[in-house]
Structure 1
Amino acid sequence: MTQPVSSRGADKALAGIKVLDLTSVIMGPVCTQILGGYGAEIVKVESPEGDIMRHAGAQCEPEMGSMFMHVNHYKKSIVIDLKSDEGRQLLWKLIPDYDVLVHNIRRDAIERLGFGYDAVRAAKPDMIYVALSGYGEDGPYAAKPAFDDIIQAEAGLASLYALQTGNEPAYLPSLIVDRHTGTVAAHRVLASLFRRQACGQGEYINVSMFETMAEFVLSDHLGGKTFDPASKDTGYSRLLTRHRRPYRTSDGYIAAVVYNDKHWKAFFKLIGKPDMFADSRFGSAAGRASNYDTIYKYLSDVFQTDTSASWIASLTAADIPCAMVNDIEMLTNDPHLEAGQFFSTYSHDRSGVTYQAVNKNTANPGHQPPGKGQHTVEVLASHGFTPETIQALLKSKAIQNGLQDEE
């Protein structure tokens, strides 16, 4: 099938843009992987210890954990010891050749290393400098360390689970804060690159995990505090009713959203009760908005009367949104994903180990996640460093070459 014109060439949109990636863990790597997917050249600068996520998740070779691999495609890895004078001097020699610098190092630490925004701007005036942080640079939390769990708690996500279910607060079993904040940061970079193209100026960007997720949560749940004077009814009741969850059927669970007038008319016809649409609780958007507990409880009771397969068939025929509740094993064998070639396998160009990618483009040669320091010599040579200089840096341990044990 011919692809829509709008989807062609997206992986080349940032061709020629060079990104110096000083990030680790998840948030920063998500940001830079998105930029790499659009064609930017990403050079990932790792410490001698390497990105800690290299050890996270399943792995079949050292320092190539699954969590690391799925956020570090499109990148070359170099190892520089920024705690050494030689390592810092080396980074200064690289900086002028790059368009974007991204880090998730706390402000005091990056200033101690000497790579704060003012210093970098002096060396590269049109640099787009991206500082990813837990809490921004001002306010009482600015110096606090932050992780996904901490922000889920502070931004209200954990308490929303308790409010909806009546159970104890809980974290979403996904690194949603890191991944969402990283995605927001990538879009900030895209906008800044567009701006720089127009005016020739670089920019300082700070993206805060806490503020990003506070906006994420409050956009749904600020409720009555949206107005002045404020009312006390915070929270969006449709999302908070305890009956909004996968529905139990006679033999399992399904997801279904009976949402608008068309859906409700079709649903009542399906179950043989067309007159129910005349009930004011069901027959209009305003009526339903005042009775979410009632209508979701009604659905919960009805869905228990038949099997999952039967409901999926009937709801699909009635054009009511529905789905099976997949576990991870089912998701990896989903026929829609298979039809779209969502998954692909590749033999890693360094180790030969076979991996599965969750985006068909990431399996292409040159798009594979790098071994630690795999490209140190290659990148430095491309910047004009002589073999003698590179060997001296290796000997001083200011850099590491991930392939040196094989040579």
Structure 2
Amino acid sequence: MRQGSTSMRNDLPLSGVRVIDLTTVVAGPSASQTLADYGADVIKVEAPGGDTTRHTGPMLEPGMASLFLGSNRNKRSIVLDLKRAECREALFALTDKADIFLHNVRPQKLSSLGLSAADLCARNTRLIYVGLHGFGEDGPYGGRAAYDDIIQALSGVADLNYRHMGEMRYIPTIVADKVAGQMTVHAAIAALYQRERTGLGQIIEVPMFETMVQFLLTEHFNARHLVEAGGETPAESDELGYKRTMAKWRRPFRTSDGYICWMPYSDRDWRAFFCEVGQEVLAEDPRFHGIAARTQNIEALYALLEGFLCVHPTAHWLSTGNRLGIACAPVQRLEELESDPHLAAVGMFQTLPAGDWKMRAVRNPVRMAAGTAMPQCPPRLGEHGEEILREAGFADAIIARILGSA
């Protein structure tokens, strides 16, 4: 594994790992950003217009919009117009010495450019070739365009919202992109570990659709996880969805002056709460005795709970929860997160220099004894092109031609 930029530390978990990142928008860039946080030298290869997220959201500098800033820290950028033969040759030179090639381009398009998995892996047998696709290529949806909304619609996210609240809605975050991005990270790291034993790279496919189906059905497959000896699923398996999370009352509970997250979980928690509100009899109610019974009767239980919580202010219940050992928390607005005392104490938000302006970064939440890279501002478009090509052994005249300056 090779050491990347001289500015990269050599004592981080992925120091010496080089990633050629041909991804755009959020899913792929969030994956390569995490690899960069762990110390990999991530070279972001961009088309002449740059990643579209460079222009999405507020910005203080053209090409450095907020959505781009959120998924591209700790990387280097080079602009290569892959329609040009000399630029493809430059990319071949980079992938020939790389550890990971990451893309979210349709495979058919890459094949037409000579950048298929077979093409690149034949040149570099140690290369880990990772394709982040919308759908598995061997299924009937293979090759279709996929965006987060498409995957939320197909995978059951919108249906879960309908079952829960009676309205077809997407979760208001690009959840499919981000989940697929993190799936990509651990698949790539697993392949690196396997290569240490075999000496060979491999081809990895990370399909967003299948990833979100697995993510959602962890709990929502419910009784359909079970198959009886005769091959039949139990009758109740038709009722998909984990009851506790599907309960309409599962939401922040109203107090007399606002809202609270109030989470009794164990038998001890519920007994302590019922005793606190003078309803010891409910602790012995068979509907609420034991987690299985509570799950079956969760709607009634949560309805009772809000009836008790709404008579006192939030501060009262936070104090009570801490005294009784019941998990609870205030409901914070997005604008309150930067002033949260815990997040401030762990340095979750960091201010980075970015020329004549500054960037506010949300750091990688993982902390490792061996360290993660300190956040650095994402690269300007093509900022490191000459540096990257010079490292690859190209002469100045060739570099000028590749970068279009000659």
TM-score (norm 1): 0.91
Structure 1 partner of 2:90: 90
Letter in 1 for 2:106: R
Structure 1 partner of 2:208: 209
CA spacing shift, 1:394–1:285, aligned 2, 3 Å:
closer
Checking the alignment, whether the CA contact within 8 Å between 1:10 and 1:38 is kept in structure 2 is no
- Counterparts of residues 173-252 of structure 1 (less than 5 Å): 173-228=172-227, 229-230=232-233, 231=235, 232-252=238-258
- Counterparts of residues 88-127 of structure 1 (less than 5 Å): 88-127=88-127
Structure 2 partner of 1:298: 304
Deviation, 1:393, is: 2.6
Percent identity for Structure 1 against Structure 2? 39
Structure 1 residue 253 corresponds to structure 2 residue 253: no
Structure 2 distance, partners of 1:320, 1:245, is 17
- Counterparts of residues 31-110 of structure 1 (less than 5 Å): 31-110=31-110
Letter in 1 for 2:197: A
Per-residue CA deviations over 1:277-328 (Å, capped at 9, x if unaligned) read 0111122122212211111111122111111121111112211111111111
Which runs of no fewer than 5 residues in structure 2 stay unpaired? 1-8, 365-370
Structure 2 partner of 1:281: 287
Structure 2 partner of 1:314: 320
Pairing partner for 2:342 from 336, 340, 350: 336
Out of 124-133 and 355-364, give the one that drifted further: 355-364
CA spacing shift, 1:395–1:239, aligned 2, 3 Å:
closer
Deviation, 1:136, is: 1.3
User: Is the partner of 2:54 in helix, strand or coil?
Assistant: helix
Checking the alignment, whether the CA contact within 8 Å between 1:357 and 1:363 is kept in structure 2 is no
Checking the alignment, whether the CA contact within 8 Å between 2:36 and 2:373 is kept in structure 1 is no
CA spacing shift, 1:320–1:15, aligned 2, 3 Å:
same
Structure 1 distance, partners of 2:403, 2:149, is 38
Structure 1 partner of 2:382: 373
Structure 1 distance, partners of 2:281, 2:148, is 48
Letter in 2 for 1:153: A
Aligned residues: 385
User: Is the partner of 1:12 in helix, strand or coil?
Assistant: coil
User: Is the partner of 2:186 in helix, strand or coil?
Assistant: helix
Checking the alignment, whether the CA contact within 8 Å between 2:252 and 2:262 is kept in structure 1 is yes
User: Is the partner of 2:105 in helix, strand or coil?
Assistant: coil
Checking the alignment, whether the CA contact within 8 Å between 1:73 and 1:362 is kept in structure 2 is no
**Moved beyond 4 Å, runs of 4+:** 360-363
User: Is the partner of 1:76 in helix, strand or coil?
Assistant: strand
Structure 2 distance, partners of 1:392, 1:10, is 32
Structure 2 distance, partners of 1:128, 1:352, is 38
Out of 102-111 and 229-238, give the one that drifted further: 229-238
Structure 1 distance, partners of 2:150, 2:306, is 33
User: Is the partner of 2:215 in helix, strand or coil?
Assistant: helix
User: Is the partner of 2:335 in helix, strand or coil?
Assistant: helix
Structure 1 partner of 2:358: 354
Per-residue CA deviations over 1:52-89 (Å, capped at 9, x if unaligned) read 01111221111111111111111000000011122112
Structure 2 partner of 1:394: 403
Structure 1 partner of 2:26: 26
Checking the alignment, whether the CA contact within 8 Å between 2:37 and 2:373 is kept in structure 1 is no
Structure 1 distance, partners of 2:59, 2:404, is 30
Structure 2 distance, partners of 1:70, 1:395, is 29
Structure 1 partner of 2:151: 151
Checking the alignment, whether the CA contact within 8 Å between 2:385 and 2:403 is kept in structure 1 is no
Deviation, 1:352, is: 2.8
Structure 1 distance, partners of 2:404, 2:290, is 74
Structure 1 distance, partners of 2:210, 2:374, is 36
Per-residue CA deviations over 1:167-219 (Å, capped at 9, x if unaligned) read x2111111111111100110001110000001101110000000000011111
User: Is the partner of 2:403 in helix, strand or coil?
Assistant: helix
Letter in 1 for 2:329: A
User: Is the partner of 1:82 in helix, strand or coil?
Assistant: coil
Checking the alignment, whether the CA contact within 8 Å between 1:345 and 1:363 is kept in structure 2 is no
Structure 1 distance, partners of 2:176, 2:128, is 23
Cα RMSD for the two superposed structures: 1.8
Deviation, 1:363, is: 8.7
Which runs of no fewer than 5 residues in structure 1 stay unpaired? 1-8, 398-407
Per-residue CA deviations over 1:338-392 (Å, capped at 9, x if unaligned) read 11111111211xx331111111899947x32111101001111122222222223
Structure 1 distance, partners of 2:216, 2:267, is 28
TM-score (norm 2): 0.91
